[in-house]
Amino acid sequence: MRSRTLTVLLTAGVLAAGCSTGVAAGGSAAPAVAWQECGPSLDCATLDVPVDHADPDGDTVGLALVRHRATDPAQRIGSLLYNPGGPGGSANEAVRTIDAAAGTGPWSPELLARFDIVGMDPRGVGESEGIRCLDDPTREENLALDLDPTLPGGMPRADLDAEARELIAGCEQGVDPALLANMATDDVARDIDLVRAALGEDRISYLGASYGTLLGATYATLFPDRVRHMVLDAAVDPTLWQNDPIDATTAQALGGERMLDAYLAACVEQGCPFGAGDPGAALDALVTRLEAQPLEVPAANGLPAGRLDGAAVLLGARIAMFAPSLWPVLTTGLLAAEGGDGSILLGLSTALSREPDGSPGGLLEANTAVNCLDRAVPTDPAVHDANAAEIVAAAPRFGGLTSYLMLTCAAWPVPNPDRFTGPLTGAGAPPILVVGGREDAQTPYPWSVAMADGLESGVLLTREGYGHGSYRASGPCVDTAVDRYLVDGTAPADGTVCAQEPAPSTLPMAG
Protein backbone atom coordinates (compact mmCIF):
# COMPACT_ATOMS: atom_id res chain seq x y z
CA MET A 1 0.00 0.00 0.00
CA ARG A 2 2.83 2.40 0.79
CA SER A 3 4.10 2.95 -2.75
CA ARG A 4 0.66 3.74 -4.12
CA THR A 5 -0.07 5.93 -1.08
CA LEU A 6 3.08 7.94 -1.68
CA THR A 7 2.16 8.38 -5.33
CA VAL A 8 -1.25 9.73 -4.32
CA LEU A 9 0.09 11.90 -1.54
CA LEU A 10 2.87 13.60 -3.13
CA THR A 11 0.76 13.18 -6.84
CA ALA A 12 5.28 13.61 -18.51
CA GLY A 13 6.09 14.64 -21.46
CA VAL A 14 5.45 14.28 -25.16
CA LEU A 15 8.51 15.00 -27.21
CA ALA A 16 8.59 15.41 -30.94
CA ALA A 17 9.87 12.25 -32.55
CA GLY A 18 13.16 12.77 -34.34
CA CYS A 19 14.23 15.91 -32.41
CA SER A 20 17.61 15.22 -30.87
CA THR A 21 20.00 18.14 -30.60
CA GLY A 22 21.41 16.93 -27.28
CA VAL A 23 22.42 20.50 -26.40
CA ALA A 24 21.88 21.95 -22.95
CA ALA A 25 20.49 25.45 -22.46
CA GLY A 26 23.98 26.78 -21.85
CA GLY A 27 25.10 25.55 -25.26
CA SER A 28 27.40 22.70 -24.24
CA ALA A 29 26.89 19.22 -25.61
CA ALA A 30 25.36 16.88 -23.05
CA PRO A 31 26.45 13.26 -22.71
CA ALA A 32 23.79 10.77 -23.70
CA VAL A 33 22.07 8.83 -20.94
CA ALA A 34 23.70 5.39 -20.63
CA TRP A 35 20.72 3.18 -19.84
CA GLN A 36 21.06 -0.30 -18.36
CA GLU A 37 18.16 -2.69 -17.98
CA CYS A 38 17.09 -2.96 -14.33
CA GLY A 39 13.73 -4.74 -14.41
CA PRO A 40 10.81 -5.67 -16.64
CA SER A 41 10.48 -2.81 -19.15
CA LEU A 42 12.74 -0.72 -16.89
CA ASP A 43 16.09 0.92 -17.54
CA CYS A 44 18.26 2.76 -15.01
CA ALA A 45 21.05 5.29 -15.35
CA THR A 46 23.00 7.94 -13.49
CA LEU A 47 23.69 11.34 -15.03
CA ASP A 48 26.36 13.52 -13.43
CA VAL A 49 25.47 17.21 -13.23
CA PRO A 50 27.25 20.16 -11.59
CA VAL A 51 26.58 20.63 -7.89
CA ASP A 52 26.70 24.36 -8.55
CA HIS A 53 25.34 25.29 -11.96
CA ALA A 54 27.33 28.52 -11.77
CA ASP A 55 30.45 26.33 -11.78
CA PRO A 56 29.76 23.81 -14.57
CA ASP A 57 33.29 22.37 -14.38
CA GLY A 58 33.23 21.86 -10.61
CA ASP A 59 32.10 18.94 -8.46
CA THR A 60 29.17 16.86 -9.64
CA VAL A 61 26.17 15.09 -8.15
CA GLY A 62 24.76 11.92 -9.68
CA LEU A 63 21.11 12.09 -10.73
CA ALA A 64 19.45 8.67 -10.64
CA LEU A 65 17.05 8.08 -13.53
CA VAL A 66 14.56 5.27 -14.09
CA ARG A 67 12.77 4.79 -17.40
CA HIS A 68 9.73 2.63 -18.12
CA ARG A 69 9.88 1.93 -21.85
CA ALA A 70 6.83 2.61 -24.00
CA THR A 71 4.73 -0.52 -24.29
CA ASP A 72 3.94 0.22 -27.96
CA PRO A 73 7.31 1.22 -29.45
CA ALA A 74 5.85 1.64 -32.93
CA GLN A 75 3.56 4.40 -31.61
CA ARG A 76 6.07 5.90 -29.20
CA ILE A 77 6.01 9.71 -29.11
CA GLY A 78 8.85 10.42 -26.72
CA SER A 79 9.81 10.70 -23.07
CA LEU A 80 7.58 11.80 -20.23
CA LEU A 81 9.28 13.34 -17.18
CA TYR A 82 7.58 13.11 -13.79
CA ASN A 83 7.89 14.58 -10.31
CA PRO A 84 5.56 13.37 -7.52
CA GLY A 85 6.04 16.30 -5.14
CA GLY A 86 7.24 16.58 -1.59
CA PRO A 87 9.68 18.22 -1.88
CA GLY A 88 11.64 15.04 -1.40
CA GLY A 89 9.36 12.51 -3.08
CA SER A 90 11.02 9.83 -5.16
CA ALA A 91 10.03 9.82 -8.82
CA ASN A 92 12.04 6.65 -9.32
CA GLU A 93 10.01 4.76 -6.76
CA ALA A 94 6.81 5.85 -8.50
CA VAL A 95 8.03 4.69 -11.91
CA ARG A 96 8.92 1.30 -10.45
CA THR A 97 5.29 0.83 -9.32
CA ILE A 98 4.04 0.77 -12.92
CA ASP A 99 2.10 -2.38 -13.76
CA ALA A 100 1.36 -1.95 -17.44
CA ALA A 101 -0.27 -5.36 -17.74
CA ALA A 102 -2.81 -4.51 -15.05
CA GLY A 103 -3.27 -0.97 -16.34
CA THR A 104 -2.82 0.44 -12.85
CA GLY A 105 -0.60 3.10 -11.41
CA PRO A 106 0.02 6.82 -11.82
CA TRP A 107 -0.27 6.78 -15.64
CA SER A 108 -2.99 5.63 -18.00
CA PRO A 109 -2.47 2.66 -20.34
CA GLU A 110 -2.43 5.09 -23.28
CA LEU A 111 0.42 7.12 -21.83
CA LEU A 112 2.31 3.95 -20.95
CA ALA A 113 1.94 2.80 -24.55
CA ARG A 114 2.99 6.07 -26.16
CA PHE A 115 5.75 7.36 -23.89
CA ASP A 116 8.88 6.37 -22.08
CA ILE A 117 8.05 7.37 -18.49
CA VAL A 118 11.20 8.93 -16.99
CA GLY A 119 11.63 9.43 -13.26
CA MET A 120 14.40 11.63 -11.90
CA ASP A 121 15.02 11.67 -8.17
CA PRO A 122 15.96 15.31 -7.54
CA ARG A 123 19.45 16.05 -6.28
CA GLY A 124 19.83 15.10 -2.62
CA VAL A 125 16.68 12.95 -2.76
CA GLY A 126 16.37 9.18 -2.76
CA GLU A 127 18.79 7.54 -5.16
CA SER A 128 20.27 10.86 -6.32
CA GLU A 129 22.77 10.99 -3.46
CA GLY A 130 19.95 11.44 -0.97
CA ILE A 131 21.16 13.49 1.96
CA ARG A 132 21.53 11.83 5.36
CA CYS A 133 21.43 14.21 8.29
CA LEU A 134 20.47 11.51 10.81
CA ASP A 135 21.56 7.90 11.10
CA ASP A 136 18.98 5.12 11.17
CA PRO A 137 19.03 4.63 14.98
CA THR A 138 18.28 8.34 15.44
CA ARG A 139 15.55 8.19 12.82
CA GLU A 140 14.01 5.25 14.67
CA GLU A 141 14.19 7.19 17.94
CA ASN A 142 12.38 10.08 16.29
CA LEU A 143 9.68 7.76 14.95
CA ALA A 144 9.18 6.44 18.47
CA LEU A 145 8.86 9.88 20.09
CA ASP A 146 5.89 10.13 22.44
CA LEU A 147 3.94 12.93 20.77
CA ASP A 148 1.13 14.70 22.60
CA PRO A 149 -1.66 15.70 20.16
CA THR A 150 -2.85 18.41 22.57
CA LEU A 151 0.45 20.32 22.30
CA PRO A 152 1.36 22.48 19.30
CA GLY A 153 3.98 20.51 17.44
CA GLY A 154 3.28 17.47 19.63
CA MET A 155 5.97 18.34 22.19
CA PRO A 156 6.90 21.08 24.65
CA ARG A 157 8.41 24.08 22.90
CA ALA A 158 11.89 23.43 24.32
CA ASP A 159 11.83 19.88 22.95
CA LEU A 160 10.84 21.16 19.49
CA ASP A 161 13.82 23.50 19.53
CA ALA A 162 16.10 20.63 20.55
CA GLU A 163 14.80 18.46 17.69
CA ALA A 164 15.43 21.29 15.24
CA ARG A 165 18.97 21.77 16.51
CA GLU A 166 19.66 18.04 16.21
CA LEU A 167 18.53 17.97 12.57
CA ILE A 168 20.47 21.11 11.70
CA ALA A 169 23.64 19.78 13.33
CA GLY A 170 23.26 16.46 11.52
CA CYS A 171 22.87 18.20 8.16
CA GLU A 172 25.90 20.40 8.79
CA GLN A 173 28.06 17.44 9.81
CA GLY A 174 26.79 14.71 7.48
CA VAL A 175 26.06 16.44 4.17
CA ASP A 176 28.39 17.98 1.60
CA PRO A 177 27.94 21.71 2.31
CA ALA A 178 28.00 22.54 -1.39
CA LEU A 179 25.14 20.14 -2.11
CA LEU A 180 23.19 21.35 0.93
CA ALA A 181 23.44 24.90 -0.41
CA ASN A 182 22.31 23.92 -3.92
CA MET A 183 19.13 21.89 -3.42
CA ALA A 184 16.69 24.69 -4.25
CA THR A 185 13.94 24.21 -6.81
CA ASP A 186 15.69 26.28 -9.47
CA ASP A 187 18.77 24.03 -9.10
CA VAL A 188 16.56 21.02 -9.83
CA ALA A 189 14.91 22.81 -12.76
CA ARG A 190 18.35 23.33 -14.29
CA ASP A 191 19.03 19.63 -13.75
CA ILE A 192 15.88 18.83 -15.71
CA ASP A 193 17.24 20.75 -18.66
CA LEU A 194 20.46 18.75 -18.58
CA VAL A 195 18.40 15.54 -18.48
CA ARG A 196 16.38 16.79 -21.45
CA ALA A 197 19.57 17.39 -23.41
CA ALA A 198 21.02 14.02 -22.40
CA LEU A 199 17.84 12.34 -23.63
CA GLY A 200 18.45 13.98 -26.99
CA GLU A 201 15.27 16.02 -26.95
CA ASP A 202 14.71 19.60 -28.15
CA ARG A 203 11.64 20.07 -25.97
CA ILE A 204 10.28 18.14 -23.06
CA SER A 205 6.86 17.66 -21.54
CA TYR A 206 6.34 17.22 -17.85
CA LEU A 207 3.78 16.00 -15.34
CA GLY A 208 4.23 17.32 -11.81
CA ALA A 209 2.05 16.88 -8.75
CA SER A 210 1.84 19.01 -5.59
CA TYR A 211 5.29 20.56 -4.98
CA GLY A 212 6.18 19.15 -8.42
CA THR A 213 3.98 21.92 -9.85
CA LEU A 214 6.33 24.55 -8.42
CA LEU A 215 9.23 22.70 -10.02
CA GLY A 216 7.43 22.57 -13.35
CA ALA A 217 6.47 26.24 -13.31
CA THR A 218 10.06 27.13 -12.43
CA TYR A 219 11.35 25.10 -15.37
CA ALA A 220 8.82 26.71 -17.72
CA THR A 221 9.90 30.16 -16.55
CA LEU A 222 13.63 29.45 -16.91
CA PHE A 223 13.39 27.44 -20.15
CA PRO A 224 10.07 28.26 -21.86
CA ASP A 225 11.35 27.29 -25.30
CA ARG A 226 12.24 23.81 -23.97
CA VAL A 227 8.64 22.99 -23.00
CA ARG A 228 6.38 21.04 -25.30
CA HIS A 229 3.55 20.06 -22.95
CA MET A 230 3.25 20.53 -19.18
CA VAL A 231 0.58 19.37 -16.72
CA LEU A 232 0.57 20.68 -13.14
CA ASP A 233 -1.73 18.66 -10.86
CA ALA A 234 -2.74 19.92 -7.38
CA ALA A 235 -0.77 23.12 -7.78
CA VAL A 236 0.79 25.30 -5.14
CA ASP A 237 0.39 29.07 -5.08
CA PRO A 238 3.96 30.11 -5.94
CA THR A 239 3.78 33.51 -4.23
CA LEU A 240 2.20 32.22 -1.04
CA TRP A 241 4.38 29.11 -0.95
CA GLN A 242 7.66 30.94 -1.37
CA ASN A 243 7.03 34.31 0.24
CA ASP A 244 4.45 33.59 2.96
CA PRO A 245 5.08 30.00 4.08
CA ILE A 246 3.59 30.64 7.52
CA ASP A 247 0.14 31.38 6.09
CA ALA A 248 0.59 28.46 3.70
CA THR A 249 0.91 26.02 6.61
CA THR A 250 -2.33 27.36 8.09
CA ALA A 251 -4.14 26.82 4.79
CA GLN A 252 -2.85 23.24 4.61
CA ALA A 253 -3.97 22.46 8.16
CA LEU A 254 -7.44 23.80 7.38
CA GLY A 255 -7.57 21.72 4.20
CA GLY A 256 -6.87 18.54 6.16
CA GLU A 257 -9.44 19.40 8.81
CA ARG A 258 -12.14 20.10 6.21
CA MET A 259 -11.39 16.77 4.58
CA LEU A 260 -11.72 14.96 7.91
CA ASP A 261 -15.09 16.66 8.43
CA ALA A 262 -16.15 15.42 4.97
CA TYR A 263 -15.04 11.88 5.82
CA LEU A 264 -16.97 11.92 9.09
CA ALA A 265 -20.07 13.28 7.33
CA ALA A 266 -19.87 10.54 4.68
CA CYS A 267 -19.52 7.99 7.45
CA VAL A 268 -22.71 9.27 9.11
CA GLU A 269 -24.56 9.43 5.78
CA GLN A 270 -23.74 5.81 4.97
CA GLY A 271 -24.24 4.52 8.48
CA CYS A 272 -20.67 3.25 8.49
CA PRO A 273 -19.75 0.72 11.20
CA PHE A 274 -17.43 3.05 13.11
CA GLY A 275 -18.89 5.25 15.83
CA ALA A 276 -22.51 4.08 16.00
CA GLY A 277 -23.76 7.21 14.24
CA ASP A 278 -21.27 9.63 15.79
CA PRO A 279 -17.86 8.80 14.29
CA GLY A 280 -16.39 12.15 15.35
CA ALA A 281 -17.04 11.47 19.03
CA ALA A 282 -15.78 7.90 18.60
CA LEU A 283 -12.56 9.15 16.98
CA ASP A 284 -11.96 11.60 19.83
CA ALA A 285 -12.63 8.91 22.39
CA LEU A 286 -10.24 6.49 20.68
CA VAL A 287 -7.50 9.13 20.58
CA THR A 288 -7.96 9.84 24.29
CA ARG A 289 -8.03 6.15 25.24
CA LEU A 290 -4.93 5.23 23.24
CA GLU A 291 -3.02 8.25 24.50
CA ALA A 292 -3.54 6.85 27.99
CA GLN A 293 -3.01 3.19 27.04
CA PRO A 294 -1.33 2.65 23.64
CA LEU A 295 -1.63 -0.56 21.68
CA GLU A 296 1.53 -2.59 21.13
CA VAL A 297 1.82 -3.58 17.47
CA PRO A 298 4.04 -6.56 16.62
CA ALA A 299 6.38 -6.57 13.62
CA ALA A 300 4.67 -7.71 10.43
CA ASN A 301 4.83 -7.29 6.65
CA GLY A 302 8.30 -5.78 6.78
CA LEU A 303 7.38 -3.15 9.35
CA PRO A 304 9.03 -3.19 12.77
CA ALA A 305 7.10 -3.41 16.00
CA GLY A 306 5.65 -0.18 17.32
CA ARG A 307 3.02 1.49 19.46
CA LEU A 308 -0.27 3.02 18.39
CA ASP A 309 -1.15 5.93 20.64
CA GLY A 310 -3.62 8.77 20.12
CA ALA A 311 -1.12 10.87 18.20
CA ALA A 312 -0.48 8.01 15.77
CA VAL A 313 -4.23 7.60 15.24
CA LEU A 314 -4.46 11.24 14.18
CA LEU A 315 -1.36 10.96 12.00
CA GLY A 316 -2.88 7.96 10.25
CA ALA A 317 -6.13 9.84 9.76
CA ARG A 318 -4.23 12.81 8.33
CA ILE A 319 -2.54 10.56 5.76
CA ALA A 320 -5.91 9.05 4.81
CA MET A 321 -7.24 12.52 4.02
CA PHE A 322 -5.06 12.73 0.92
CA ALA A 323 -7.37 10.45 -1.08
CA PRO A 324 -10.97 9.24 -0.68
CA SER A 325 -9.74 5.81 -1.76
CA LEU A 326 -8.02 5.65 1.63
CA TRP A 327 -11.16 6.47 3.60
CA PRO A 328 -12.33 2.84 3.75
CA VAL A 329 -8.83 1.88 4.93
CA LEU A 330 -9.12 4.44 7.70
CA THR A 331 -12.51 3.11 8.79
CA THR A 332 -11.19 -0.44 8.86
CA GLY A 333 -8.17 0.71 10.84
CA LEU A 334 -10.30 2.60 13.37
CA LEU A 335 -12.54 -0.43 13.88
CA ALA A 336 -9.51 -2.68 14.26
CA ALA A 337 -7.94 -0.32 16.79
CA GLU A 338 -11.12 -0.29 18.84
CA GLY A 339 -10.80 -4.07 18.91
CA GLY A 340 -7.15 -3.99 19.99
CA ASP A 341 -5.35 -4.25 16.62
CA GLY A 342 -3.36 -1.12 15.78
CA SER A 343 -1.45 -2.42 12.77
CA ILE A 344 -3.47 -0.71 10.02
CA LEU A 345 -3.41 2.73 11.60
CA LEU A 346 0.25 2.45 12.55
CA GLY A 347 1.06 1.57 8.94
CA LEU A 348 -0.88 4.60 7.72
CA SER A 349 0.79 6.89 10.24
CA THR A 350 4.29 5.95 9.04
CA ALA A 351 3.54 5.80 5.30
CA LEU A 352 5.72 8.83 4.60
CA SER A 353 8.44 8.13 7.12
CA ARG A 354 9.47 4.57 6.22
CA GLU A 355 10.93 3.02 3.09
CA PRO A 356 9.19 0.09 1.39
CA ASP A 357 11.48 -2.31 3.27
CA GLY A 358 10.39 -0.85 6.61
CA SER A 359 13.58 1.07 7.32
CA PRO A 360 13.23 4.70 8.41
CA GLY A 361 13.24 7.08 5.47
CA GLY A 362 14.92 10.41 4.86
CA LEU A 363 11.99 12.33 3.36
CA LEU A 364 11.93 14.80 6.25
CA GLU A 365 15.59 15.70 5.78
CA ALA A 366 15.33 16.38 2.05
CA ASN A 367 11.99 18.12 2.49
CA THR A 368 13.46 20.46 5.10
CA ALA A 369 16.58 21.22 3.08
CA VAL A 370 14.61 22.23 -0.01
CA ASN A 371 11.96 24.19 1.87
CA CYS A 372 14.53 26.16 3.84
CA LEU A 373 16.31 27.22 0.65
CA ASP A 374 13.12 27.99 -1.28
CA ARG A 375 10.95 29.78 1.24
CA ALA A 376 11.16 33.10 3.09
CA VAL A 377 10.70 31.72 6.60
CA PRO A 378 10.58 34.30 9.42
CA THR A 379 13.35 33.98 11.99
CA ASP A 380 11.34 35.55 14.83
CA PRO A 381 10.19 32.73 17.17
CA ALA A 382 7.12 34.74 18.13
CA VAL A 383 5.82 34.48 14.56
CA HIS A 384 5.97 30.69 14.73
CA ASP A 385 4.33 30.65 18.17
CA ALA A 386 1.44 32.80 16.93
CA ASN A 387 1.04 30.63 13.83
CA ALA A 388 0.94 27.46 15.93
CA ALA A 389 -1.78 28.92 18.13
CA GLU A 390 -3.76 29.92 15.04
CA ILE A 391 -3.51 26.45 13.53
CA VAL A 392 -4.52 24.68 16.76
CA ALA A 393 -7.57 26.93 17.09
CA ALA A 394 -8.61 26.50 13.46
CA ALA A 395 -7.98 22.74 13.22
CA PRO A 396 -8.83 21.18 16.60
CA ARG A 397 -8.06 17.58 15.62
CA PHE A 398 -5.08 17.94 13.29
CA GLY A 399 -3.73 21.31 14.40
CA GLY A 400 -1.51 20.12 17.22
CA LEU A 401 0.49 17.77 15.02
CA THR A 402 0.57 20.04 11.95
CA SER A 403 1.95 23.20 13.57
CA TYR A 404 5.52 24.47 13.83
CA LEU A 405 6.27 22.90 10.43
CA MET A 406 8.63 25.75 9.48
CA LEU A 407 10.41 25.97 12.82
CA THR A 408 13.64 24.29 11.68
CA CYS A 409 13.94 26.68 8.74
CA ALA A 410 13.90 29.65 11.12
CA ALA A 411 17.42 28.65 12.22
CA TRP A 412 18.60 27.00 8.99
CA PRO A 413 22.35 27.59 8.67
CA VAL A 414 22.60 27.57 4.86
CA PRO A 415 21.72 30.88 3.18
CA ASN A 416 20.29 31.20 -0.30
CA PRO A 417 21.15 34.77 -1.27
CA ASP A 418 20.00 34.38 -4.89
CA ARG A 419 16.73 32.62 -4.03
CA PHE A 420 14.71 32.35 -7.24
CA THR A 421 11.10 33.44 -6.87
CA GLY A 422 10.15 34.35 -10.40
CA PRO A 423 7.54 35.59 -10.93
CA LEU A 424 6.70 32.19 -12.36
CA THR A 425 4.96 33.22 -15.56
CA GLY A 426 6.26 30.64 -18.03
CA ALA A 427 6.31 33.48 -20.56
CA GLY A 428 6.86 32.05 -24.02
CA ALA A 429 5.86 28.49 -23.13
CA PRO A 430 2.94 26.72 -24.82
CA PRO A 431 -0.31 26.21 -22.89
CA ILE A 432 0.27 24.78 -19.41
CA LEU A 433 -2.59 22.71 -18.01
CA VAL A 434 -3.23 23.26 -14.29
CA VAL A 435 -5.55 20.75 -12.58
CA GLY A 436 -7.02 21.85 -9.25
CA GLY A 437 -9.30 19.92 -6.91
CA ARG A 438 -12.16 21.82 -5.33
CA GLU A 439 -11.39 20.23 -1.94
CA ASP A 440 -7.74 19.28 -1.53
CA ALA A 441 -6.23 18.23 1.80
CA GLN A 442 -2.79 19.59 1.01
CA THR A 443 -2.89 22.19 -1.77
CA PRO A 444 -6.14 24.18 -1.46
CA TYR A 445 -8.05 24.95 -4.63
CA PRO A 446 -7.28 28.70 -4.59
CA TRP A 447 -3.62 27.75 -5.00
CA SER A 448 -4.33 26.11 -8.36
CA VAL A 449 -6.33 29.16 -9.42
CA ALA A 450 -3.38 31.38 -8.48
CA MET A 451 -0.94 29.15 -10.38
CA ALA A 452 -3.08 29.17 -13.53
CA ASP A 453 -3.65 32.93 -13.32
CA GLY A 454 0.07 33.63 -12.86
CA LEU A 455 1.13 31.60 -15.90
CA GLU A 456 0.81 33.52 -19.14
CA SER A 457 -0.51 30.42 -20.90
CA GLY A 458 -2.19 28.76 -17.91
CA VAL A 459 -5.33 26.69 -18.54
CA LEU A 460 -7.35 25.72 -15.44
CA LEU A 461 -9.17 22.40 -15.20
CA THR A 462 -11.25 22.04 -12.02
CA ARG A 463 -12.10 18.72 -10.39
CA GLU A 464 -15.10 18.68 -8.09
CA GLY A 465 -14.84 16.51 -4.99
CA TYR A 466 -12.14 15.54 -2.54
CA GLY A 467 -8.50 14.47 -2.56
CA HIS A 468 -4.95 15.63 -3.13
CA GLY A 469 -4.32 15.35 -6.85
CA SER A 470 -6.75 14.48 -9.63
CA TYR A 471 -5.06 12.63 -12.48
CA ARG A 472 -5.62 8.87 -12.20
CA ALA A 473 -7.49 9.48 -8.93
CA SER A 474 -10.81 11.07 -9.83
CA GLY A 475 -12.27 9.44 -12.93
CA PRO A 476 -12.26 9.54 -16.74
CA CYS A 477 -13.07 13.23 -17.21
CA VAL A 478 -9.74 14.44 -15.80
CA ASP A 479 -7.79 11.46 -17.14
CA THR A 480 -9.07 11.96 -20.69
CA ALA A 481 -8.36 15.69 -20.64
CA VAL A 482 -4.78 15.16 -19.43
CA ASP A 483 -4.13 12.30 -21.86
CA ARG A 484 -5.45 14.22 -24.85
CA TYR A 485 -3.29 17.20 -23.98
CA LEU A 486 -0.14 15.12 -23.50
CA VAL A 487 -0.72 13.00 -26.61
CA ASP A 488 -1.79 15.56 -29.18
CA GLY A 489 -1.64 18.96 -27.48
CA THR A 490 -5.39 19.51 -27.30
CA ALA A 491 -6.04 21.31 -24.02
CA PRO A 492 -9.52 21.58 -22.50
CA ALA A 493 -11.19 24.97 -22.49
CA ASP A 494 -10.01 27.18 -19.65
CA GLY A 495 -12.48 26.81 -16.77
CA THR A 496 -13.61 23.28 -17.63
CA VAL A 497 -15.06 21.42 -14.64
CA CYS A 498 -14.96 17.65 -14.11
CA ALA A 499 -17.05 15.68 -11.66
CA GLN A 500 -15.26 13.18 -9.43
CA GLU A 501 -15.95 9.52 -10.22
CA PRO A 502 -16.86 7.70 -8.16
CA ALA A 503 -18.17 10.39 -5.84
CA PRO A 504 -16.74 10.02 -2.31
CA SER A 505 -20.26 9.66 -0.92
CA THR A 506 -20.70 6.47 -2.93
CA LEU A 507 -17.54 4.81 -1.59
CA PRO A 508 -18.02 2.18 1.08
CA MET A 509 -16.69 3.64 4.32
CA ALA A 510 -15.15 0.33 5.36
CA GLY A 511 -12.81 -1.81 3.31
How far, in Å, CA of 279 to CA of 177, rounded?
Answer: 49
How far, in Å, CA of 80 to CA of 32, rounded?
Answer: 17
Collapsed DSSP state (helix, strand, coil) of residue 205:
strand
Do the beta carbons of residue 51 and residue 59 sit within 8 Å? yes
Do the beta carbons of residue 434 and residue 452 sit within 8 Å? yes
CA 193 to chain centre: 21
Decide the pairing of beta strands 227-233 and 432-439. parallel
Collapsed DSSP state (helix, strand, coil) of residue 476:
helix
Catalytic residue among 384, 468, 470, 483: 468
Strands (DSSP E) contained in 224-377 are 227-233, 295-297, 306-308
Catalytic residue among 128, 210, 349, 403: 210
Do the beta carbons of residue 265 and residue 53 sit within 8 Å? no
384 in catalytic set: no
Beta-carbon count within 10 A of 340 CB? 9
Q: Tell me the backbone φ, ψ of residue 229, rounded to 5 degrees.
A: -135, 145
How far, in Å, CA of 6 to CA of 91, rounded?
Answer: 10
374 in catalytic set: no
440 in catalytic set: yes
Catalytic residue among 309, 440, 479, 483: 440
Number of residues that make up the chain: 511
Do the beta carbons of residue 64 and residue 49 sit within 8 Å? no
Q: Tell me the backbone φ, ψ of residue 57, rounded to 5 degrees.
A: -100, 10
Q: Bridge-partner residues for 149, per DSSP?
A: none
Rounded to 10 deg, the angle between the 245-270 and 310-320 helix axes is 90
Contacts 24+ apart (CB under 8 A), 42-49: 42/66, 42/67, 42/68, 42/69, 42/95, 42/96, 43/67, 43/69, 47/194, 47/195, 47/198, 49/123, 49/191, 49/194
DSSP 497: E
Alpha-carbon dihedral angle through residues 370, 372, 375, 379, given to the nearest 10 degrees: 170
Neighbour-count burial of 175, counting CB atoms closer than 10 A to its CB (0-12 exposed, 13-18 middle, 19+ buried): buried
Q: Tell me the backbone φ, ψ of residue 333, rounded to 5 degrees.
A: -65, -40
Q: Tell me the backbone φ, ψ of residue 462, rounded to 5 degrees.
A: -105, 135
Q: Which residues are catalytic?
A: 210, 440, 468
